[in-house]
A = this chain, B = another copy of it.
Amino acid sequence: MKLFFENDYNCGCAPEILRRLEKENNNPRVGYGNDDLTAAAAAKILKAVGKPAGEVYLAMGGTQTNATVISAFLRTYQGVVAAQTGHIGVHEAGAIEATGHKVLAVPNVVDKISPADLKAYLSAFYADENHTHMVQPGMVYISHPTEYGSLYSKKELEEIRQICTEYQLPLFVDGARLGYALAAPENEITLQDLGRLADVFYIGGTKVGALLGEAIVFPKGMPPFFPTHAKQHGSMLAKGFVTAAQFDELFTNDLYVRLGQHGIDMAMKLKKGLAAKGYGFHIDSPTNQQFIIVTNEQAKALHEKVFFEDWEKKDAAHMVIRFVTSWSTREEDVDALLQMM
């Protein structure tokens, strides 16, 4: 059987979650997230975030979450500021535009928006005498970790927050892979930091051990009528308790942290092993996505035995490939992959 390092959403869910779903299976509950499990999961999440007066909404997937959240905050004449490589601008099939809003791309290094670039973009916008004919920045979107596995430092996040405050822009953090950030040794940003610095962020379940589900956290509370808006955007689950049971379990006995930790342990083992073998890295990624430089022939040969993604061309003879580990990666597979390379 081929090894699997293609993504972090390739298996069902953590066994604890499966057991929990089984345990809750026969208890009838009211629909649409008005049940006790949804309330319990929200309370646990908000406690972890340090914002007990905040609110949580459980959605089903990342693209859906991004479009639903962003369109809830923006006014018609506004767009969302994102890194040029941001997921919403590239790999979400125009979901943001389908809600009527432009993604305003800020040039970036390794998938991060630097505070300086953000500031430069915003001050240039308002200095432009034609800016009333242009899409007004209405929100800042960043990913942590980013699509390249990189991490914002606490200083960077605090500076971005300060700029957002200065320009009255809500800050949204896409945490599709947040579990792998939290477990990374280099990571400086805690759930409490996000609760303090973001206006809204989400804790990804799909990529960190759940069957599906993303927990949207509003540290200061939801925008008015957010559930109606979510229903309109196809983001309301009839059986809200299905995602709730999973998040309640993820925030019981530190399961979310432990799942993230396993993904990071596997990634670091793989990273060290590859470095020891002399492979070069496109990016020095501290999280569960590793971008390795191989020859075109190596890539081709590897595809016979391993599921993984070709990322981009490096030069005529080399390419960047991506290996992804996760909560479900088996250590023997990492060993096998290292042996193979």
| A94 lies within 8 A of B90 (CB) | no
Inter-chain contact A28/B13, CB cutoff 8 Å? no
Copy number in this complex?
A: 4
CB within 8 Å for A26 and B11 given contacts A63-B231, A231-B92, A309-B129: yes
Residues of B within 8 A of A71 (CB): 76
Cβ-defined partner of A234 (8 Å) among B67, B130, B307: B67
B134/A93 in contact, CB under 8 A:
yes
Given contacts A11-B28, A60-B60, contact A133 B91 (CB under 8 A): yes
Other-chain residue from B13, B29, B76 in contact with A72 (beta carbon distance below 8 A) = B76
Which of A193-201, A237-245, A285-293 lies at the interface with chain B? A237-245
Decide: A93 and B64 in contact? CB cutoff 8 A: no
A85 within 8 A of B: no
Contact with A239, one of B21, B94, B102, B212 (Cβ below 8 angstroms): B212
Chain B proximity mask over A306-317: 1 for CB below 8 Å, otherwise 0: 010110000000
Q: Which of B10, B24, B234 makes the CB contact (< 8 A) with A61?
A: B234
Interface size on A, residues (CB 8 A): 78
Cβ contact within 8 Å between B102 and A132: no
CB–CB A229/B76 < 8 A: yes
How far apart sit A242 and B60, CA to CA, in the bound complex (Å)?
12
Q: In the assembled complex, how far is the CB of residue A141 from the closest CB belonging to chain B, in whole angstroms?
A: 15
Nearest CB to that of A6 among chain B residues? B30
The residue that A26 contacts in the complex, of B64, B101, B212, B328, with Cβ under 8 A, is: B328
- Decide if A280 is an interface residue (CB 8 Å cutoff): no
Query: Contact at B239–A206, with CB atoms within 8 Å?
Result: yes
A39-47, A220-228, A256-264, A294-302: which one contacts chain B? A220-228
Known: A77-B232, A206-B238. 10 other contacts (CB 8 A): A64-B234, A72-B76, A91-B133, A93-B133, A98-B99, A99-B100, A129-B309, A136-B225, A211-B242, A212-B239
